[in-house]
Amino acid sequence: MYYIHSIKKIVDSGLNETKFTFEKGDAGMISSSNEKRHVSLSPMTTTSLMPNVLKSIGLLLGLFLFLCDPSNAHDYWFEFESQDYVLYRGHHLIQHEGENIVPYDPAIIKKVYCADQNGVVRTIDPPLHYPARIPGPCTALTVEMDTGYWSQTWTETLNQPKDEVSDALSSWRALESTKLLNEWIDIPTPKPLSDGLEILLEKNPFGLENGQKLRLLVMLEGKPLEGVTMAYDGKPRGVTGKDGRMNIRVRHGGLQVITGSIKEPPLDRTKADKLIRATALFFGLPEER
């Protein structure tokens, strides 16, 4: 049996990505503001681990905006409640100073897509209230967020465009998305749920073992995208080719975290130096591989 021992932040291309460290033990321990909860992550033989993980600990989602002071970095995660997915932000699973839950403006959520077992995608209206509650169940779920403009100064990172910050050293606009794959959608040709930056798997991953490869396809606006920097557990593994594809090797069982990011010219040079698109894919494998 394994438990989540620690989660470390890695700064890459202006974004913090997540590294999960699994160590042998009897249970996982998650700290909250007033209590500690133990979560057993026992081996699974079903095709999907994620609904059970979500029920127990909530899924840490997100792509993290680069913040110089780690105590200011915020994480996004889902908690599974009565077949709904509730989106939170804060320092829920990160061991550093800062509030465990930090409210956010639900207006950052722009689009929500939910796919069923047959690959039929329905669009869900973005929630209007905090915390955002997304109705399920979903075989796959994608949430797109626009967290706006960010400017880096010598002392802090501000959620403002550079034309509103007198001493900005660099600035960017961040478009982010997260995708949760609960089960394999068995259709002849995998299709993205959204038009945004999205990671697809071309084959069913739920039977993979340590050392075997995942074939990834990254798409934007329905087309393969070249030049996306891909990472596994926060460690860069390569860049997508002209066909938008690359391979990543499975290193462990349990929660799989695959992220991708790419820099583009800004949409408005008066407000930012660059546009950063970032996406994450989460799915679970049995613990003992």
Q: pLDDT band at residue 87, thresholds of 50, 70 and 90?
A: confident
pLDDT value of position 203: 93
Question: Is pLDDT of 81 > 70?
Answer: yes
Tens of pLDDT, residues 97-134: 455 787 889 999 999 999 999 999 999 999 999 999 99
pLDDT value of position 188: 86
Mean pLDDT across 221-237 = 94
Question: Is pLDDT of 140 > 90?
Answer: yes
Tens of pLDDT, residues 176-190: 898 999 999 998 888
Q: How far apart are CA 187 and CA 102, in angstroms?
A: 39
In this structure, of 26-30, 113-117, 253-257, 272-276, the range with the lowest mean pLDDT score is 26-30
Question: Is pLDDT of 55 > 90?
Answer: no
- The number of C-alpha atoms within 13 Å of 133 and in the hemisphere containing its C-beta is 6
Tens of pLDDT, residues 186-207: 988 889 999 999 999 999 999 9
Q: Which residue has the tokens 């840490």?
A: 60
Between 111 and 282, residue with greater pLDDT: 111
3-state secondary structure (DSSP) of residue 53: helix
Please, what is the end-to-end C-alpha distance for the chain in angstroms? 11
- Average pLDDT over the chain reads 77
Q: How far apart are CA 265 and CA 39, in angstroms?
A: 44
pLDDT value of position 251: 93
pLDDT value of position 164: 96
Question: Is pLDDT of 57 > 50?
Answer: no
The one-letter amino acid at 200: L
Between 152 and 51, residue with greater pLDDT: 152
Other Cβ atoms less than 10 A from the Cβ of 53: the count is: 23
Question: Is pLDDT of 54 > 80?
Answer: no
Question: Is pLDDT of 51 > 70?
Answer: no
Q: pLDDT band at residue 272, thresholds of 50, 70 and 90?
A: very high
Residues with Cβ within 8 Å of residue 46, at least 6 apart in sequence: none
Question: Is pLDDT of 162 > 60?
Answer: yes
**pTM score, two decimals?**
0.73
Closest CA to 142 of 120, 176, 112: 112
